Chain A
Amino acid sequence: MLRFLLNRGGQALIAAFGVVTLVFFIQRLSGDPTALLLPETATQQDIEAMRASLGLDRALWVQYLDFLWQMARFDLGRSFVQNASVWDIILSRLPQTLQLAAGALAVALLIGLPLGLIMALTRGRAVSRWIMGLVLACQSMPTFWSGIMMILVFGVWLRWLPTSGIGTLAHLVMPSVALGLLSLATYARITRAAVVDELSRDYVRSARARGAGTGRLVRHHLLCNSMIPIITITALEISQLLAGAVIVETVFAWPGLGLLTVQSIAARDFMVVQAVVLLGAFVTIGANLAADILYSIVDPRVRLGAKS
């Protein structure tokens, strides 16, 4: 187990190192990063001061090592536009995004899992095909369009829900659904595939032969054994939700990390944009690592396979 943990942890560290390197080079794509890091109104003096503080006169590899060291200390730097620490800015927006992501995940799981289960149990029948059509529609729906259409129907025409902003639970409903639709489709498809896979196993047949009804079969056999792909997908979905939040938060004026990113691009606050991207990548790497570990606890075969 320890060996497995060290191995996967090492892989995650390498990935994180790679991400930091990639972001460093993307930053240099434009040639002169000072143009990105300073507002358009910056004077020549500001630019020179910035050059010196960033150490742009040094060799590229020295700058790179410096950047690595900065990241290793979790130092995200300061925003020159807002004149505040990037960490403070991010932490002030993080709770709203977590709230939104949790809402979306709840929508996706609570609707997607049962839909997938129903599709698997009724496969080959018309019900299953209709649900599959619905799932594909969810998958093809642009988040910003479903968001705007929900605002139109439930906010403007029916006046049931607030069209933007945060505060009450009612504010959370539409953004969560808009963000959750894509994940809902993924969950439904994965659950269907996993349950169909399990249904063909011998133990299901013997359980049926012993007289187990569909309800018992689902509760005692199918759900547990279908969990593995669902856990992996959750790890992937968390990063999907973070990325999707950029658009959903813009549509609903939801003051989280996504809206912050868009506002920071408009304000040419590159330090913040860079920090959000790094954070998104680290969360993804962390979630994948967590899924791998969880996996090996649920299913020891994974761990043993990794050892050999």
Chain B
Amino acid sequence: MTTDAADGTAKPRVTLARVLAWWPAILLAGLALCAVLAPWLAPFDPDRQNLLARLKPPGFEARGVIFHLGSDELGRDVLSRVIYGARVSISVAVLSVLLSGIVGVAVGMAAGYMRGWVETVLMRLVDVFLSIPAILLAIITVAVLGPGFGNVIIVLALTRWPRYARVAYGQTLVIADRPFVRLSRAMGASAPRVIALHILPNIIGPLLVVATLEFGLMVLFEAGLSFLGLGVQPPTASWGSMMSTGRNYVATAWWISMFPGLALFLLVLSANLIGDRLGDRIGKG
């Protein structure tokens, strides 16, 4: 890719180094692709048990089939389960970020725009939610609602919307005071129109930064809940629950816990790096 250096054209060269500088985005896209293409990428059915090939190390070969990353305590292929696990992690994180983002931004903008008692009530509510450590709030809610895919998303959204509300509120206060917004209101624009047309487009940047960082956090939370047995339920492959079983076999079969953890780490790392760079560009909320 560096061979075009000699022809002297002025267009920016696509060098290997430049492409590699984007590695967090490439990594994230790769993991997302794994999630989407799981049925085609995974060598085996992630739930297929093979009791004759339990706890086999990576590279183990039996009657023509290879367990590239080893097999777990029920003889399921770890590689296939890691690939399918990406589906759970990414879909839970995306949906909970969307849900909490929509709720939080709506609350924050309403408080920042309407002021008065609405502001007091809503922002006090935000304070209350933020005073309960998020994981504890998630645990108690799951304990009441019961575990499962849908409930995990609801619980994560319930615990995280105040973060967006804070940022949206602060930003709305700043923007709502700008001359163009005041003019628009003076000319008779309705509140929903001002919010949708003038405020939202101007506060979306910092909110995107928060959402990216929250994505990483949601992946960690989902895995944490699944690790504790409160998340997505077996036999569905989830990185958190894989590590939970792996913990019991760490002395004999380290690969069960190492590979899902590595995937999790890379996913969160790439989201955090992207969030950090966005934050440097756009400015943190």
Contact = CB atoms under 8 A, between A and B. Distances in A.
Interface of A: 11, 14-16, 18-19, 21-23, 26-27, 29-30, 36, 136-137, 139-145, 148-149, 151-152, 156, 163, 239-240, 242-244, 246-247, 250-251, 261-262, 265-266, 270, 273-274, 276-277, 280-281, 284-285, 288
A26 B124 contact: no
A183 to B, nearest CB: 13
Q: Which 6 A-B pairs have CB atoms at the shortest separation, nearest pair first?
A: A145-B261, A18-B128, A243-B133, A140-B269, A243-B135, A140-B268
A281 B139 contact: no
A14 B121 CA distance: 12
Interface in B100-150: 124-125, 127-129, 131-137, 139-141, 143-145
Contacts of B269: 136-137, 140
A148 B251 contact: no
Interface string B232-268: 0000000010011011001100100110011011001
Contact of B136 (A139, A141, A143, A281): A281
B251 A156 contact: yes
Contacts of B254: 152, 156
B200 to A, nearest CB: 28
A142 B268 CA distance: 9
Nearest to B138: A243
Given A14-B124, A22-B128, A262-B228, A151 B250 contact: yes
Contacts of A148: 243, 246-247, 250, 257-258, 261
Given A270-B143, A277-B137, 17 more contacts: A23-B140, A30-B145, A136-B273, A141-B265, A142-B261, A143-B224, A145-B243, A145-B262, A242-B133, A242-B136, A243-B133, A243-B134, A262-B228, A265-B139, A280-B133, A284-B131, A285-B131
B interface secondary structure, majority? helix
Interface in B264-278: 264-265, 268-269, 271-273, 276
A129 to B, nearest CB: 12
Given A29-B141, A149-B258, A151-B250, A276 B264 contact: no
B132 A19 contact: yes
A14 B128 CA distance: 8
A163 B258 CA distance: 16
Mostly, the A contact residues are: helix
A152 B247 CA distance: 9
Nearest to A288: B131
B144 A30 contact: yes
A276 B64 CA distance: 52
B230 interface: yes
B228 A246 contact: yes
Interface of B: 124-125, 127-129, 131-137, 139-141, 143-145, 216, 220, 223-224, 227-230, 240, 243-244, 246-247, 250-251, 254, 257-258, 261-262, 264-265, 268-269, 271-273, 276
B132 A281 contact: yes
Contacts of B240: 144
A141 B251 CA distance: 21
A139 B272 contact: yes
B165 to A, nearest CB: 15
B220 A280 contact: no
Given A142-B268, A145-B264, A36 B228 contact: no
A35 B128 CA distance: 27
A126 to B, nearest CB: 15
A257 to B, nearest CB: 10
B224 A19 contact: no
